[in-house]
A and B are shown apart, each in its own frame.
Chain A
Amino acid sequence: MRCAPVAATRSATSTTRSSSRRESVRAGFQAGLPFAVAAGLLAISFGVLARPVMGTVAPIVMSAVVFAGSAQFAATAVLGAGGGAVAAIVAGILLNLRYGPMGIALAPSLRGGTLSRAAHGQAMIDASWAMANLGGGRFDPWFMVGATLPSYPVWVVGTAVGVLGGELIGDPDRLGLDAIFPAFFLALLAEGELRSGRKAIAAACIGAAVALALVPLVPPGVPVIAASVGALLGLSRRNEAKSARGTGE
């Protein structure tokens, strides 16, 4: 998970597309391993939390077919509070809606037919998507697949461990694991996107400000989606050129 060297290797190999696919998956797999460990511990805590709500089988099935941490936690919390299926589904969907704009960001880097692109989208989890981001609007989709590969089985097995015997392990928050993902996203921002130009910095600032302002006002999940408006700065490219020529208004 040495971020800068990995990114450098990826951009160097991305020119020889077909031969680099296996390399990308392998590099992604290696980069994804530490996050699989974190995902496993998170899955254990999900299993512990979900067992009194849903029993032993349902949480494991949920992890296998939904495979989205925050949505699973949210839906389970709603069910546990007696909120019913509709409220649980809405809570889960809202948290997963961010995969819409994330998928749009990924889309220009995808080749192949509709089915193949739809399948690629299934490999989107936050950390893998973020690691596969090459900056400047480009992604390495096979790196993302590789990075997600170790997390999936660990997520399902970890849930089972949590359901069947999680009390023995104790509270994973004790280890500070919940700080890992935001710190990692911050590191990727600082090392990648924020060095790729003033516009990326401005988009990040707008995204952060919008999310911060909206969280107390709207349901969980919506602030991240709304942060997409920061990307509208991309429209101003032509304006910049205009004002450089002195024709801006």
Chain B
Amino acid sequence: MMLDDWITIGVLAVATAAIRASGPVLVGGRELHPRLFGVVSLLAPALLAALVVTETLFGTDNELVVDERAAGVAAAGVALALRAPVVPVIVIAAGVTALARALA
């Protein structure tokens, strides 16, 4: 239904802007207590690792899928372990995934 589309777009736009503003507005602009900063400074590695896991192993339907994409990211992991620079690592990830899909 068309009205549903526009309601979704409008509410999502406002909500997304509010969520993006929330951290900087609520926490920013002052020095944090050192222990709190200790926690905040570990958010980045925890969130990055979670993004790697969810974007490698799961599709939109919430099911664990070990597919060509997982093979590509695994190849990237091997390249990183061999100290490859970032750009080749990403090219390897996309290349292995594309190759695996072409062969599948």
Q: Do A203 and B46 have beta carbons less than 8 Å apart?
A: yes
CA distance A68 to B14 in the complex (A): 12
The secondary structure that dominates the B interface is: helix
Report the minimum CB–CB distance from A193 to chain B (whole Å).
4
Q: Say yes or no: A180 contacts B54, CB within 8 Å.
A: no
User: In chain A between 108 and 160, which residues have their CB closer than 8 angstroms to a CB of chain B?
Assistant: 108, 110-114, 117-122, 124, 126, 130, 133, 135-138
By the criterion CB–CB under 8 Å, are A118 and B60 in contact? no
Question: When the two chains form their complex, are residues A1 and B76 in contact, meaning their CB atoms are under 8 A apart?
Answer: no
Known contacts: A176-B95, A180-B94, A216-B63. The answer to whether A193 contacts B48 by CB under 8 A is: yes
Tell me the chain A residues, 220-237 only, with Cβ under 8 Å from chain B: 220, 223-224, 226-235, 237
Q: Which of A89, A98, A137, A208 contacts B37 (CB 8 A)?
A: A137
**Contact yes or no, A117 B45, CB < 8 A:** no
Are A183 and B19 CB-contacts (below 8 A) given A85-B8, A102-B43, A108-B27? Answer: no
Interface positions, chain B 52-103, Cβ under 8 Å from A, are 52-58, 60, 62-64, 68-69, 72-73, 76-77, 80, 85-87, 89-90, 92-99, 101-102
Please name all residues of chain B whose beta carbon is closer than 8 Å to the beta carbon of A126 when the two chains form the complex. Answer: 51
Report the separation of the CA atoms of residues A34 and B45 in the bound assembly, to the nearest whole angstrom: 23
- The answer to whether the Cβ of A167 comes within 8 Å of any Cβ in the partner chain is no
Smallest distance from the beta carbon of A228 to chain B beta carbons, Å? 6
Add 9 more A-B contacts to A135-B44, A227-B46 (CB < 8 A): A101-B47, A103-B23, A103-B24, A107-B24, A110-B28, A122-B21, A178-B97, A204-B45, A215-B62
Q: List chain A positions with a Cβ less than 8 A from chain B.
A: 1-4, 34, 53-55, 58, 61-62, 65-68, 71-75, 77, 79, 84-85, 88-89, 92-93, 96-108, 110-114, 117-122, 124, 126, 130, 133, 135-138, 173-191, 193-194, 199-201, 203-208, 210-212, 215-216, 219-220, 223-224, 226-235, 237-238
Q: List 13 A-B contacts (CB under 8 A).
A: A55-B5, A65-B13, A103-B27, A105-B41, A107-B29, A179-B93, A181-B55, A182-B51, A186-B52, A194-B45, A215-B62, A216-B62, A234-B40
In order of increasing CB-CB distance, the 10 nearest A-B pairs are: A103-B23, A137-B41, A176-B97, A207-B46, A183-B93, A230-B46, A227-B50, A234-B38, A179-B72, A176-B98
> Chain B interface (Cβ within 8 Å of chain A)?
1-13, 15-17, 19-29, 31-32, 34-35, 37-58, 60, 62-64, 68-69, 72-73, 76-77, 80, 85-87, 89-90, 92-99, 101-102
